[in-house]
């Protein structure tokens, strides 16, 4: 296996791992990145190369570093922190009544005291 193929497979694995940690489907990622879902599937399978621009978009979307996606560092990304950052980004897009509805919905959800 060539070095470029193994790097592509590592990037594919990290992108898939980060997507799952973020709690997003391939379809959701495709929509957010303005791509087709099969493209995300091909990237995660290691069958499609990722451009530098796409790598930066994935890193931003999943709240991880591009270097982590490229295989640097062994630390697993903090799942809760990643999910909170993604939620905060989406909440910032809400306006007026929609934000009020979301806050009422969140208040109605039973809280689990476990960490």
pTM above 0.85, yes or no: no
Q: Does domain 3-108 have CATH number 1.10.260.40?
A: yes
Task: Give exposure, 84-100, as e/b (b: 16+ Cβ within 10 Å).
Answer: eebeeeeeeeeeeeeee
Question: Rounded distance, CA 81 to CA 44, Å?
Answer: 23
Mean predicted confidence (pLDDT) in 77-84: 60
Is residue 86 scored above 80 in pLDDT?
no
Tell me the domain boundaries of the chain. Answer: 3-108
- Burial track 61-83 (b if 16+ CB lie within 10 A, e otherwise): bbbbeeebbeeeeeeebeeeebe
Q: pLDDT digit string (tens) for 19-59?
A: 988 888 999 999 999 999 999 999 999 999 999 999 999 99
> How many CB atoms sit inside 10 A of residue 44's CB?
20
Task: Calculate what percentage of the chain has a pLDDT beyond 90.
Answer: 41
Query: What was the pLDDT predicted at 3?
Result: 66
Task: Provide, for the chain, the percentages of residues in helix, strand and coil under a 3-state DSSP scheme, each rounded to the nearest 5.
Answer: 65, 0, 35
The pLDDT assigned to 82 comes to 65
The C-alpha atoms of residue 1 and residue 106 are separated, in whole angstroms, by 49
Q: Where are the alpha helices (DSSP H) in 22-78?
A: 26-32, 37-44, 52-62, 66-69
Q: How far is it, in rounded angstroms, from Cα 77 to Cα 17?
A: 9
6/29: higher pLDDT:
29
């Amino acid at each position: 296996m060539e070095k470029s193929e193994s790097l592509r497979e590592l990037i594919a694995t990290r992108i898939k791992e980060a997507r799952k940690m973020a709690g997003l489907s391939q379809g959701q990622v495709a929509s957010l990145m303005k791509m087709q879902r099969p493209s995300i599937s091909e990237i995660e399978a290691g069958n499609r190369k990722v451009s530098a621009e796409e790598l930066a978009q994935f890193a931003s979307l999943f709240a991880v570093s591009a270097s982590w996606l490229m295989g640097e560092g062994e630390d697993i990304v903090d799942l809760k922190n990643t999910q909170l950052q993604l939620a905060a980004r989406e909440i910032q897009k809400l306006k007026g009544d929609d934000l009020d509805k979301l806050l009422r919905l969140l208040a109605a959800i039973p809280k689990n005291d476990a960490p």
